[in-house]
């Protein structure tokens, strides 16, 4: 059984928040030319279009590229004058936080600072703020585990983990904790029937986990909505 949030759930959560909460309508995708980048590009395009918004342009770059100023320029087209609007409201960058910062800085340098930068998992770090500075303000990204969540389940997990290990848990710890709790909840007292336990696991719906609300599907994958985080006022905050 897979307890991690799927790439599709990340793309869906990001598009849902950007369109229906932030009111963004025009999107671009700047992605690395590898399986991960192309896969998330396609999932995000589907998620945006299914919600009635538009993907204006997609553009790939070499996955080894560090400086993304040239790909950003190609995505924008002719350099807009100061105060002019870019041809899209937000750009999705399914890559590392370092690449996300590079895109945000390149947009700012080309007078497109009003464009929101959207990202996938792995952006939540003090380094995002330290390196990104004001350019990364307004960014939105997904995280499969949010240690700063206001959820009582997360708070209890954090308390118990700190008590046991004296440090902050990561996403793998949260998923292991959830998997163990789901398994224990599916074990009726005194049972020795593996089939009964498996059937109970497959019936799990809406289980409140530390890494999100869990519903297990017939194929063994999990239906889970990842946390949506963002940069507001120079801080990483919980958005949804």
The pLDDT score that the predictor gives to residue 196 is 87
Q: Exposure string (b/e) for 57-69, b if CB count within 10 Å is 16 or more?
A: bbeebeeeeeebe
Q: Exposure string (b/e) for 159-188, b if CB count within 10 Å is 16 or more?
A: eebeeeeeeebebebbbebbbebbeeebee
Q: What is the pTM of this model?
A: 0.84
The pLDDT score that the predictor gives to residue 80 is 55
Q: How far is CA 205 from CA 173, 183, 202, 224, 228, in A?
A: 21, 13, 8, 10, 21
Which tokens belong to 196? 């009964």
Report the percent of the chain where pLDDT is more than 70: 98
Q: Given strand 54-61, what is the order of strands in its sheet?
A: 54-61, 26-32, 90-93, 116-119, 140-143, 227-232, 235-238
Q: Identify which of 48-62, 166-180, 190-204 has the greatest average pLDDT.
A: 48-62
Query: pLDDT class for 82, splitting at 50, 70, 90?
Result: low
Could you tell me whether strands 207-209 and 212-216 are parallel, antiparallel, or unpaired per DSSP bridges?
antiparallel
Could you tell me whether strands 90-93 and 54-61 are parallel, antiparallel, or unpaired per DSSP bridges?
unpaired
DSSP state of 82: T
pLDDT of 6 over the 90 cut: no
Q: Mean of the pLDDT values across residues 184-207?
A: 86
Whose structure tokens read 């289980």?
207
Q: Mean of the pLDDT values across residues 150-161?
A: 91
């Amino acid at each position: 059984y897979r307890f991690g949030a799927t790439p599709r759930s990340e793309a869906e959560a990001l598009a849902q928040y950007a369109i229906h909460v932030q009111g963004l309508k025009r999107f671009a995708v700047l992605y690395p030319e590898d399986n991960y980048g192309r896969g998330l590009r396609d999932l995000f395009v589907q998620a945006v279009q299914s919600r009635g918004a538009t993907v204006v342009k997609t553009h790939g770059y070499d996955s080894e590229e560090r400086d993304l100023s040239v790909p950003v320029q190609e995505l924008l087209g002719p350099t807009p004058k100061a105060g002019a609007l870019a041809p899209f409201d937000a750009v999705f960058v399914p890559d590392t936080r370092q690449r996300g910062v590079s895109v945000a800085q390149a947009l700012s340098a080309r007078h497109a600072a009003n464009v929101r930068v959207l990202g996938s998992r792995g952006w939540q770090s003090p380094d995002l703020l330290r390196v990104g500075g004001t350019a990364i303000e307004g960014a939105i990204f997904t995280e499969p585990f949010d240690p700063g969540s206001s959820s009582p389940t997360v708070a209890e997990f954090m308390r118990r983990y700190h008590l046991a290990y004296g440090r902050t848990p990561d996403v793998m710890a949260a998923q292991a904790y959830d998997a163990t709790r789901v398994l224990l909840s599916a074990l009726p007292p005194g049972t020795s029937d593996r089939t009964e336990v498996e059937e109970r696991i497959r019936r799990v719906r809406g289980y409140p986990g530390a890494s999100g609300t869990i519903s297990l599907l017939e194929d063994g994958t999990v239906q889970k909505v990842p946390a949506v985080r963002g940069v507001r006022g120079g801080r990483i905050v919980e958005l949804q």
